[in-house]
Amino acid sequence: MEDHVKSLLDALPLPGDDARTVAATVKEVEFEDGELTVVLNLTGVDRATRHQIEDAAVKALSGQNGVDEVYVEVEVDDLPQYETRQEPGLSVHGGAAAPTPPKKALSDVKHLIAVASGKGGVGKSTVAVNLALSLKARGARVGIVDLDIYGPSVPIQLGVASAKPGVSDDQKRFVPVEAYGLKVMSIGFLVEDDTPVIWRGPIVASVVKQFLDDVEWGALDYLVIDMPPGTGDAQLTLTQSAPITGAVIVTTPSELALVDAIKGLQMFRKVDTPVIGLVENMSHYECPECGHTSNPFNSGGTQRITEQFGVGLIASIPIDTEIQRGGDNGKPVSAVRPDSPQAAAFLSLADAVIEKVPFAETPKAEKKGFLAGLFKK
Ligand SMILES: Nc1ncnc2c1ncn2[C@@H]1O[C@H](COP(=O)(O)OP(=O)(O)O)[C@@H](O)[C@H]1O
Ligand SMILES: [Mg+2]
């Protein structure tokens, strides 16, 4: 079988290497019960190209007699640690299978979803909280981690502002707080309200790793991250140090927010993190009396970004007093009024996220298709 696989892959050129073909990168071939698994070592090949090769190899190897399913796994020797994990989904997304994945708290977390914004006050935390609750409503196991050093509002929004995380029996890990069925960790549990902002930067740098690695998250389908707003060094470092599956960028229709949203998009591009889509918050107003919808701020800018950058607008959330009050009173609309139209807006956001980053077991080839799709720029 191995020779046959190699002969098929010999037809695929290896970009940037005239002397060899993809056949030369074959590391392992396994064939059992109609399942063909081929491991390629693509060290030195950039991520986008790795995905192209992976897709091409699946195509080249499919459709042979007796082969029902084709799995192509890509391995790389020189990736930073966050890419060399072996969880389902991430190994597909990162394109890398590690020889010995480190066993950490996060290793039972299938997907990290970053909720980011170019600037503060656009409703990032509101979206993160209601997205997390909606993912849960769809049957996923969900946690939320609030890394917004400037305004850690997740505990307030979830009504657990005075809670403190527990500590595991061996004193080595935090035990997250629980709220509305979500596991919650927040930088707000650890810093006092009056901690000066200039101290928060160093605090966040040192706790980020702990929040991700030293918390008993248990088995989760999604860990939603409320990112610090902005696109500076802190955000960049965070984006690089966490194994993020995809990012959701929150913006509002105002021109200024859009300029910042573009910076956010560019930041994720720079570090090769797929952007799942844009969420336009406070996008329109629906009159509770007559149902009339108006777009007082809409300049068409979000539409322009989606065209220019090829990212989808995956949800439009109305400006709404129930959404605002729910957050400010620790009773988020998605938890306390799950049948409301407001909650429906967040559910459709959750559905868009699930479609791009599924949590239920789907056939590997199909899942790969979805995730590979995130990379098409
Ligand atoms: N769709 C919305 N409708 C009404 N108010 C909203 C909406 N989204 C957010 N808000 C309110 O705007 C303020 C800022 O939201 P927040 O989620 O804290 O923003 P960020 O995390 O981006 O700083 C909060 O008072 C929140 O309740
Ligand atoms: Mg916030």
Nearest listed ligand to the Cα of residue 149: 2
Q: Identify any residues that bridge with 281 across adjacent strands, giving them in sequence order.
A: 317
Q: Find, among 203, 197, 198, 281, the residue nearest to 238 by Cα.
A: 203
The 10 Å CB-count burial string (b at 16+, else e) for 53-66 is: bbebbbebbeeeee
Structural domains of the chain ordered from first start: 2-78 (3.30.300.130), 106-360 (3.40.50.300)
Say if ligand 1 is within 6 A of residue 324 CB: yes
Q: Are 332 and 129 in contact (CB under 8 A)?
A: yes
147 contact partners, CB below 8 Å, separation of at least 6? 187, 204, 208, 211, 225, 226, 227, 228, 238
Residue nearest to atom 11 of ligand 1 (CA): 324
Ligand 1 binding pocket mutation candidate from 324, 333, 337 (most atoms within 8 A of CB):
324
* Spatial distance between the Cα atoms of 359 and 112, rounded to a whole number of angstroms: 11
pLDDT in 10s for each residue of the chain, 377 residues: 889 999 999 999 998 888 999 999 999 999 998 889 998 988 888 777 887 888 899 899 988 888 888 888 877 775 433 332 233 333 233 333 333 333 456 778 999 999 999 888 999 999 999 999 999 999 999 999 998 877 889 999 999 999 999 999 998 889 999 999 999 999 888 877 776 766 666 666 667 777 888 899 999 999 999 998 888 777 787 787 788 999 999 999 887 788 888 999 998 988 889 999 999 999 888 887 888 888 777 667 888 888 888 899 999 999 999 999 999 999 999 999 999 999 999 999 999 999 999 998 655 544 444 555 554 43
Say if ligand 1 is within 6 A of residue 281 CB: yes
Q: Evaluate if pTM is beyond 0.85.
A: no
> Which pair of tokens denotes residue 32?
């059992």
> Which pair of tokens denotes residue 280?
């336009």
Q: Are 111 and 225 in contact (CB under 8 A)?
A: no
Residue nearest to atom 19 of ligand 1 (CA): 123
* Spatial distance between the Cα atoms of 220 and 265, rounded to a whole number of angstroms: 26
Say if ligand 1 is within 6 A of residue 315 CB: no
Q: Are 200 and 168 in contact (CB under 8 A)?
A: no
Say if ligand 1 is within 6 A of residue 116 CB: no
21 CA from centroid of ligand 2 (Å): 49
Between the alpha carbon of residue 358 and those of residues 165, 230, 372, the distances in Å are 29, 28, 13
134 contact partners, CB below 8 Å, separation of at least 6? 334, 343, 346, 347, 349, 350
37 CA from centroid of ligand 2 (Å): 44
The 10 Å CB-count burial string (b at 16+, else e) for 155-175 is: bbbbbbbebebeeeeeeebbb
Say if ligand 1 is within 6 A of residue 151 CB: yes
* Spatial distance between the Cα atoms of 274 and 374, rounded to a whole number of angstroms: 6
Q: Are 127 and 227 in contact (CB under 8 A)?
A: no
* Spatial distance between the Cα atoms of 313 and 236, rounded to a whole number of angstroms: 23
71 CA from centroid of ligand 1 (Å): 43
